[in-house]
Chain A
Amino acid sequence: MDVEITLRVDGRDRRLSVDTRTTLLDALRERLGVTSPKKGCDHGQCGACTVLLDGRRVNSCLALAVAHQGAEIVTAAGLADGDRLHPLQEAFITNDAFQCGYCTPGQICSAVGMLAEAEAGWPSAVSSDFDADKVVLDDEEIAERMSGNLCRCAAYANIVPAIAQAAGR
């Protein structure tokens, strides 16, 4: 059963017809050719498909495209400002925060969303002052808040410092 939808992807309006069963991830990759979000587990367990959906980080493999008519989607490919990389992209390069790179677009989108959540004062399961106004992103906080993104190369030892650098630590 096909449905016409519009998505705003990395700043461009894209109109497409999708089967109701199509996930946002498949709509992006297979229908629109936006291959920056990756398909890892396709069960919401690895985070490789993470995009920013209306400003929030989500697993695009578990979202049905038809349920997000008119949504604004930002992928890792849409974070740069022309040739100027996003600070998190710069930090991942500076800190060598990847090996194979497959999880990297998801890691970076997730980190962008996570820093905004921390900026808004959202606590995490490891926050010592649970009701604090300001979140201090130490390594433990970063690891907990990024636990939805797996890296099978185990580049975590460089991912955490990259995010800490982008967070201004």
Chain B
Amino acid sequence: MRPFSYQQPADVAEAVSLLAGSPDGTFLAGGTNLVDLMRLGVSSPDVLVDVRRLTSDRVEELPGGGLRIGAAMINSELAADRRIRQRYPVLSQAVLSSASGQLRNMATVGGNLLQRTRCPYFQDLSTPCNKREPGTGCSAQHGYHRDLAVLGSSQACYATHPSDMAVAMTALGAVARSQGPDGQRAIPLTDLYRLPGDCPDRDTVLGHGELITSVDLPALSFGANSRYRKVRDRASYAFALVSVAAALDVADGLVRDVRLALGGVAHRPWRAIQAEEALRGEPATADRFRYAAAAELADARPLSGNAFKVPLAGNLIVSVLLELAGGQP
């Protein structure tokens, strides 16, 4: 591992300015992904700026019924928070379906959002990877890609974003707030993550030294009727093959409103806008759910080894929506 200096700034402004002067430096929070990537040689910062105590580590009420989650909050406390469990159970379930009890006790909300792909070639220095080393090629395209993307990928990269939490937050319309060298800004999660295109080395639109300070969840009247379901190769402690985060509002047999996002299928948490549009105002029936899922997945371009994900995602969407439709009073 490359030697690095460890810095513990007093506040966010100092952390941001420290990194502005360190082009090879990076922020450290829980370290559960970063320390591993440093050990593998995938990441080799010369400065670590510890931000674990610089931002809020709790959930606060926002005017109008939304919630603000501090970036330093650990994943296990987020999942256990009563307001999250009651108002946005999809988020609590997503966090609890990720990693292990030990990792959830270390990982922060900000770090979870910014974790890197678990594509095996990204983590293996002996193989070409456009995300790790731009221009070297993609080993996954003709290699092992069972876990990788079926939507929004490019020939340069088929990596998937590994977070469960971010999928639920994307469905809920969450907005990340950041502070960087150019000041503060608010970035909807649907804009935070990039598609790979021809520069897959960049996961997000964040600039160097820009720190996520909190995540805002907007009020959602039907958020309590929400659900996260994750399909994976073992029953616990594994990344998603496909996951679905959904919230559904049904009245008189019709879909009044819906939020839907997919995990494990793309370079970013995939907000299923086309499926949502195909559902609003339509009957809450299995047929309509199937139609909406097909509309979303029409653009899927799977590789030879992960085509199974397309019907799997479709079936999972239908199953979760049926469960939520049946759960309405």
A residues whose Cβ falls under 8 Å from a Cβ of B: 1, 3, 19-21, 23, 42-44, 47, 50, 56-59, 62-64, 66-67, 110, 113-114, 117, 120-125, 130-131, 143-149
Report how far A131 CA is from B97 CA in the complex, Å. Answer: 16
B6 and A47: CB pair below 8 A?
Answer: no
Known interface pairs A122-B76, A122-B80, A147-B236. Does A67 touch B6 (Cβ–Cβ under 8 Å)? yes
Q: List 14 A-B contacts (CB under 8 A).
A: A1-B5, A21-B38, A23-B35, A47-B102, A62-B35, A66-B6, A110-B101, A123-B80, A125-B96, A130-B92, A130-B93, A131-B82, A144-B235, A147-B236
- Which residue of A20, A43, A148 is within 8 Å of B101 (Cβ)? A148
A160: min CB distance to chain B, Å: 13
Closest chain A residue, CB of each to CB of B94: A125
A125 and B4: CB pair below 8 A?
Answer: no
A162: min CB distance to chain B, Å: 17
Q: How many residues of B contact A (CB 8 A)?
A: 36
Report how far A117 CA is from B97 CA in the complex, Å. Answer: 16
B102 and A58: CB pair below 8 A?
Answer: yes
Known interface pairs A20-B4, A67-B31, A121-B80. Does A57 touch B96 (Cβ–Cβ under 8 Å)? no
B residues whose Cβ falls under 8 Å from a Cβ of A: 1, 3-6, 28, 31-32, 35-36, 38-39, 48, 50, 52, 76, 79-80, 82, 85-86, 89, 92-93, 96-97, 99-103, 105-106, 235-237
Known interface pairs A63-B31, A64-B28, A67-B50. Does A43 touch B93 (Cβ–Cβ under 8 Å)? no
B28 and A1: CB pair below 8 A?
Answer: no
- Which residue of A57, A124, A131 is within 8 Å of B105 (Cβ)? A57
- Which residue of B6, B35, B97, B235 is within 8 Å of A1 (Cβ)? B6
A57 and B101: CB pair below 8 A?
Answer: yes
Most B CB contacts (10 A, CB to CB) among A117, A147, A149 go to A147
B236 and A20: CB pair below 8 A?
Answer: no
A20 and B5: CB pair below 8 A?
Answer: yes
Report how far A139 CA is from B102 CA in the complex, Å. Answer: 19
- Which residue of A3, A57, A66 is within 8 Å of B102 (Cβ)? A57
- Which residue of B4, B36, B82 is within 8 Å of A43 (Cβ)? B36
Most A CB contacts (10 A, CB to CB) among B3, B35, B100, B236 go to B100
Residues on A with beta carbons closer than 8 Å to the beta carbon of B50: 67
Known interface pairs A125-B96, A131-B82. Does A64 touch B6 (Cβ–Cβ under 8 Å)? yes
Residues on A with beta carbons closer than 8 Å to the beta carbon of B92: 123, 130
Closest chain A residue, CB of each to CB of B74: A56
Residues on B with beta carbons closer than 8 Å to the beta carbon of A66: 6
B250: min CB distance to chain A, Å: 20
In the A-B complex, list the 4 residue pairs whose CB atoms are closest, starting with the nearest.
A148-B100, A147-B236, A147-B237, A122-B80
Residues on B with beta carbons closer than 8 Å to the beta carbon of A131: 82, 85-86, 89
